[in-house]
Chains A and B, each alone.
Chain A
Amino acid sequence: MNVIEIKGLTKIYKTSEVIVKAVNGIDINFEEGEFTAIVGPSGSGKTTFLNMLGGLDKPTSGKVIISGIDVWKLSSRQLIDFRMNNIGFVFQSYNLIPVLTAGENVEFIMHLQGKPKKEREKRTKDLLEAVGIGNRINARPSKLSGGQQQRVAVARALASKPEFILADEPTANLDSKATNSLLELMSQMNKKYNTTFIFATHDQRVMDKAHRIVTIEDGKILSDEYFERD
């Protein structure tokens, strides 16, 4: 079943000097449980595409339909709740609230969702254990390595039980060892919870793990390939 349907998605940035077609008419669908890499050189439109998909950046034209809901028809208030309940985000950096511990960061999003305390605490513990840093639950982000911080971010993204997780170059600031283990983790989580992962990257190692690779250039899809892994 298609979780996400995208039709004619376009984003045009107008500055005083130039008009940039950052995303130029993309049609694509994503299915439940996919583990998809969006690849392409820097400036090809990956971030813009993910931001429109994630309800962060309004398209110039086109539609994003998630579980039957036309995302960009929602009011801005509805959109915030929609994001909170349906989409998990992992960014390149500035993922975590620096004044909260790893555990509190994960718990925070469930707090926003209004989940009861018992459930929040249990799920936080389970998730941090699942991402392999159960012993750092009380550490503030500044006391964690870059790789550990991204693991917390993945746990946080999973915490809200979203339809899918968007990750924009999640490994860009990590060394190769940390990159490998983060990818391993995301792929495990993808299998364990059947959560759809869509991530932008231009990192070859990340592409090697993906089941589907969508290549973008100049805001257009160049290729869309499926791979058998394991």
Chain B
Amino acid sequence: MLLSISWRNIWRNKVRSMVIILSVAMGIFAGVLATAFFKGMADQRIQKVINTEISYIQIHKAGFEETNDITDYIPNAAELLKSINNIDGVAGVSKRIVIQSMAASAETASGVLISGINPEQEKSVTSISNKIVDGAYFKGIKRNPAVIGKKLAEKLNLRIRSKFVITVQDLQNNITSGAFRVAGIYSTDNNMFDEANVFVRYSDLQKLTNFPVGGAHEIAINISNKEELPAITQAVKKVAGDKMSVKIWKELRPEMNYLTEAMDLYMYIFIVIILLALLFGIINTMLMVVMERTKEIGMLMAIGMNKAKIFSMIVLESVMLSLTGGIVGIVIGAITSKYGETHPIDLSAWAQGYQQLGYDAFVYTQLDPSMLVDITLLVILTGVIAAIYPAYKALRNDPADALRIE
């Protein structure tokens, strides 16, 4: 009954209540949409980094990541690769020889990370093969073909079929060089990646460095459903044994995870700021409500409503007022964000700077249902906080004074 009294009380002053409801709705709508937008942007960025740069899981020999020592390799990489391929949910596995090296053209040189890959295996793990902007993915060149990033091609002034020299240390610590020819030029959205990564065939790099056949520094694993990542990681760890370090993308590139966490934090701050601004409007309305109803509240106290009930009545009214606006805002915001999951927002007019950083020009919003729950709770909390002072004022009413007719 208290609930229905509070609800009906909201509609006693329709205009005033609608103003509050609409402003809460608009604030929450903005909050939900902004959240979905930035979450979409971050997720897209992360997904892209996973797809083009790191893949979901990588295996290294323990210690390799710190030292990058060429001798810290996985000796049985070829067998390991086969067993991992048999794990349910694994979409692709690729083994790589990864060596810090120098790439030199006729004009200049640049430090690069050279990856010796099996082109077909690599296709099932990362999407470099889809990012070719010139030439072809390991086609058209017979001896020592290489696929390099656009940025590096510009820096070294290399074109398709251009020759360049890779200088590395082999397993015996001898400096050795090999001539490679550009078969394809790729371009991801990450210029830094494009400048630093050169892909050559596993067999070519293996010969150049006298690398043991079947060994590799890195095994990269792609999976078909990211929900299964924890389970698959467990399975991979089992197969790899405890001499190997098995890491998922979050561990490989912690800054990617910080990105999501920072984004979440910013969004909460943003929503709290919106709610803080709305809070004062609600407090003001509830104060007016309490002033207008002095006599009525006095009467309610006289006939037997205790302080707890009066307090709840005011708090309920405030909560329902804010929650009504909140729900309207959440629903409209959720519908808009859902629409944005299939209809991207085009940022191309402003996106140049973003692209340098690896973000897309088209942002698909990403609705996070758990965020909606949190926003709902925050709106309820706002309603409660807004009611405290007005409700306290209402309790200060003395029924005898309130009822005295002047």
Contacts and interface: CB of A to CB of B under 8 A. Distances in A.
A97 B296 contact: yes
Contact of A98 (B296, B303, B403): B296
Contacts of B403: 51, 56, 91, 94, 168
Interface stretch (A60-68, A105-113, A130-138, A174-182): A105-113
B82 interface: no
Interface in B325-353: none
A112 B12 contact: no
A77 B306 contact: yes
A83 B306 contact: no
A84 interface: yes
B399 A92 contact: no
Given A95-B299, A99-B5, A99-B12, A112 B304 contact: yes
A54 interface: yes
A94 B299 contact: yes
Size class of the contact patch on chain B? 20 to 34
A103 B301 CA distance: 20
Contacts of A107: 1
B300 interface: yes
A98 B11 CA distance: 11
B400 A56 contact: yes
B303 A47 contact: no
Contact of A112 (B8, B299, B307, B309): B309
A93 B1 contact: no
A94 B304 contact: no
A199 interface: no
Contacts of B217: none
B302 A109 contact: no
Interface string A211-224: 00000000000000
Interface in B7-37: 8-9, 12
Contacts, number: 64
B305 A112 contact: yes
A97 B405 contact: no
A201 interface: no
Q: Which of A56, A57, A93 has the most chain B CB within a 10 Å cutoff? A: A56
A81 interface: yes
Nearest to B299: A94
A214 B31 CA distance: 67
B295 A94 contact: yes
B404 interface: yes
A12 interface: no
Contacts of A91: 299, 302, 403
Contacts of B301: 80
A77 B309 CA distance: 12
Given A92-B405, A94-B299, A94-B403, A84 B5 contact: no
Contacts of A104: 1
A149 interface: no
Size class of the contact patch on chain A? 20 to 34
A97 B5 contact: yes
Given A56-B399, A57-B400, A84 B12 contact: no
A47 B404 contact: yes
Given A94-B403, A98-B12, A98-B296, A83 B305 contact: no
Contact of A113 (B5, B298, B300, B304): B304
A35 to B, nearest CB: 22
Contacts of A168: 403
B302 A89 contact: yes
Q: Which of A100, A108, A160, A168 has the most chain B CB within a 10 Å cutoff? A: A108
Contacts of A84: 303-304
Contact of A80 (B9, B12, B306): B306
Q: Which of A47, A81, A97 has the most chain B CB within a 10 Å cutoff? A: A97
A94 B292 CA distance: 12
Contacts of B5: 97, 99-100
Contact of B400 (A51, A98, A100): A51
Contact of A97 (B298, B300, B309, B404): B300
Interface in A101-144: 104, 107-109, 111-113
Given A77-B306, A81-B304, A84-B304, A108 B399 contact: no
A99 B9 contact: yes
A85 B306 CA distance: 13
B396 to A, nearest CB: 13
A29 B260 CA distance: 77
22 contacts: A54-B302, A56-B400, A56-B403, A57-B400, A80-B306, A83-B302, A83-B303, A84-B304, A85-B304, A92-B405, A94-B298, A94-B299, A98-B12, A99-B12, A100-B5, A104-B1, A107-B1, A108-B1, A109-B303, A112-B303, A112-B309, A113-B304
Interface of A: 47, 51, 54, 56-57, 77, 80-81, 83-85, 89, 91-95, 97-100, 104, 107-109, 111-113, 156, 160, 168-169
Return the 6 tightest CB-CB contacts between A and B, nearest first: A84-B304, A99-B8, A57-B400, A94-B295, A56-B400, A51-B400
Given A47-B404, A80-B301, A160-B304, 7 more contacts: A57-B400, A80-B304, A80-B307, A81-B306, A83-B302, A94-B295, A99-B5
